[in-house]
Amino acid sequence: MKKNTAITIGLMWLLLAFSFTQMIGVAIVNGNEASIIWAVNHSYPNDYETQATNYTCEVIYDYFDDNGAYERLENNYVEATESSAFYAEVENCEDNYSYATVFYKGHSCLPWGPCYEGGSAHYHYRLADNDGFEPETNQIWDNWIHDKLNNLVHGFVFLWSCFDDEMGGVVNFDHAYGFPASFFNRSDLSADAYAYLGSDNSDVCYIGFTNVSKNFVEPTGYGDPEYNYGDFCRTFYGYATSSSAYTIRLSLLYSSLITIGCSYSLSDLYQGYNVTINNVDYFSRQVVYGDANEDLPD
């Protein structure tokens, strides 16, 4: 019964979306696009989360493959998610492609610092690579991503990992901190791009998590059988890659309607949720920075 309702709602939104397509037309983007998928296979709470991570990377890859516009499409799950490969791929995309999008599923290290480069104290952010958290060579550093920028082709970055919501800042041409500032070379992005229906004119969008990210295998509490947050992530990419009519905002909305049973703005991802670790409560939520009117080129 619930499933039928979900499908009905999904179809309603599909029809609505197609009428949007008619109204605004389909953006034509020429150029060569890159989509790079990264994930690690360690330190998850159970094997199911590891399997869901592997499966989700494959599904996202297939969605981009079906789209057909992505001349460079890489699923670097497990072995290839090495920090050195990550920097090399950022550089390759910057030097050879007109647009790049990145998805990463894994873990953050604790912020590093303070660093006083440029005169004011700031902290650096790091993702774990597939070898683990330590030593530092296993970490994907914000500043080393920024170091590889050249043509500013990165348009959409989606990090499904904890503690990666720091907008950061650009200290100078070869020093930045925080993942948004490091991927996009700017830190003036709209901090609530989903709610802000206008454009911040950044042409970029970033999705991350304040504090603790959801596990893919966690049920959303909706559907029969219940959907989980992996379903949310995959459904988001299903919409986002299917047509440029599906902006990042619309893709979040439709995925939430189908897999969480409410609009994204009413979902716990947007509203926030508490996670208790070692008796400490972490108020956590997904963040969307920049311009959610952006779409993935096709």
Least separation in angstroms between residue 2's CB and Zn ion is 49
Q: Residue 111 Cβ, how far from Zn ion at the closest point, in Å?
A: 11
By rule CB under 5 A, what count of residues binds Zn ion? 2
Q: Which is nearer to Zn ion, 91 or 147 (CB)?
A: 147
CB of residue 181 vs Zn ion: minimum separation in angstroms?
11
- Shortest Cβ 168–Zn ion spacing (Å): 10
What is the DSSP pairing of strand 33-39 with strand 70-75?
parallel
Q: Do the bridges between strand 175-177 and strand 169-172 make them parallel or antiparallel, or are there none, so unpaired?
A: antiparallel
Distances from the Cα of 163 to the Cα of 38, 210, 267, angstroms: 17, 5, 20
Residues with Cβ within 8 Å of residue 78, at least 6 apart in sequence: 39, 40, 41, 54, 130
Residue 275 near residue 179, CB atoms below 8 Å: no
Q: Which tokens belong to 211? A: 């504090």
Pair 90, 51: CB distance under 8 Å: no
Choice between 59 and 115, CB closer to Zn ion: 115
Q: Helix axis angle, 229-242 relative to 47-67, nearest 10°?
A: 10
> In the complex, which residue's CB is closest to Zn ion?
115
Q: Rounded distance, CA 198 to CA 248, Å?
A: 13
Rank residues 39 and 176 by Cβ distance to Zn ion and give the closer one: 176
Any contact of residue 147 with Zn ion (CB under 5 A)? no
For 149-226, strand residue ranges (E) read: 154-160, 169-172, 175-177, 205-210
Instruction: Using the CB atoms, write b or e for 58-67: b if 16+ within 10 Å.
Output: ebbbbbbeeb
> If DSSP codes are grouped into helix, strand and coil, which group holds residue 117?
coil
Q: Which is nearer to Zn ion, 82 or 117 (CB)?
A: 117
CB-nearer residue toward Zn ion: 142 or 268: 142
Nearer Cβ to Zn ion, position 182 or 286? 182
Query: Which residue's CB is nearer to Zn ion, number 127 or number 233?
Result: 127
Q: Are 164 and 180 in contact (CB under 8 A)?
A: no
> Could you give the CA distance from residue 237 to residue 149 in angstroms, rounded to a whole number?
25
Cβ 170 to Zn ion shortest distance, Å: 11
CB of 128 to Zn ion, least distance (A): 20
Least distance CB 174 / Zn ion (angstroms): 10
| Per-residue x/- track, 186-215, Zn ion (CB under 5 A) | ------------------------------
In the bound state with Zn ion, the residue whose beta carbon lies nearer, of 29 and 115, is 115
Q: Greatest CA span in the chain, whole angstroms?
A: 60
**Bridge partners of residue 159, in order along the sequence:** 104
CB 221 within 8 A of CB 268: no
| Shortest spacing between CB 175 and Zn ion, in angstroms | 6
According to CB under 5 A, which residues from 95 to 134 bind Zn ion? 115, 117
- Residues engaged in binding Zn ion (CB under 5 A): 115, 117
